[in-house]
Amino acid sequence: MLDLEKILKILIENEVEFIIVGGYATIIHGAGYVTKDLDICVNFSEENTSRILKAITPYHPLHRMHPKKPPLQETPNSLSKYKNLYLHTDLGDLDMLGEITGLGRFQDLVHSTIEVEIYGKTCRVLSIDALIVSKKALGRPKDNQVVVQLEAIKEELDKS
């Protein structure tokens, strides 16, 4: 079970540079979507990966996509060479993406975000327009369904 509040709290308290993308971003914008993990786009710089490791190491991160699920034992330097990192932690599954399909890397996305308050903390979330572009670029059936919802929400927002 994902402890969204705790994961966001530790990321923010450790000053990790991240943007909420994926399922939780669509939920924040009002789409009806079910997800079991938190997808974030992160800056994989050595400085930021150091903060990531400090934040998540106490929660026993494991490489979720590896068949043997080994513990995360990277250094900030080795982690900075990653493109994506898929983890299982004591707080739930956390997917850290270095690039978002159709949009680019963390540095490219910063201007395509909004700030929202979640659990009393301010977070960056991919804008609805950027989410639509990304979901269309992915083109999977589940993403196409979300695009329909996001476009309807955007149309209502544009009216008001």
33 pLDDT exceeds 90?
no
Buried b (16+ CB within 10 A) or exposed e, 72-111: bebebeebbeeeebbbbbebbbbbbbbebeebebbeebee
Range list of H helices, the chain? 4-13, 22-28, 46-56, 76-79, 106-109, 128-138, 141-159
Say whether pTM exceeds 0.85: yes
Whether 3 has a pLDDT exceeding 90, the answer reads yes
Is residue 1 over pLDDT 90?
A: no
Which residues does 44 contact at the CB level (< 8 Å), separation at least 6? 79, 80, 81, 82, 83, 98, 106
Residue 26 has pLDDT above 90, yes or no: yes
Q: How confident is the model at residue 149 (pLDDT cuts 50, 70, 90)?
A: very high
Q: Decide if pLDDT at 112 tops 90.
A: yes
- Model pLDDT for residues 83-108, shown as the tens digit of each residue: 999 999 999 999 999 999 999 999 99
**Residue 57 — very low, low, confident or very high, per pLDDT cuts 50/70/90?**
very high
Q: Where are the domains of the chain?
A: 4-152
> Sorting pLDDT into bands at 50, 70 and 90, what band is 10?
very high
Would you state the pLDDT for residue 87? Answer: 98
- What SS3 state is found at 86? strand
Q: Which fold has domain 4-152?
A: Beta Polymerase; domain 2 (3.30.460)
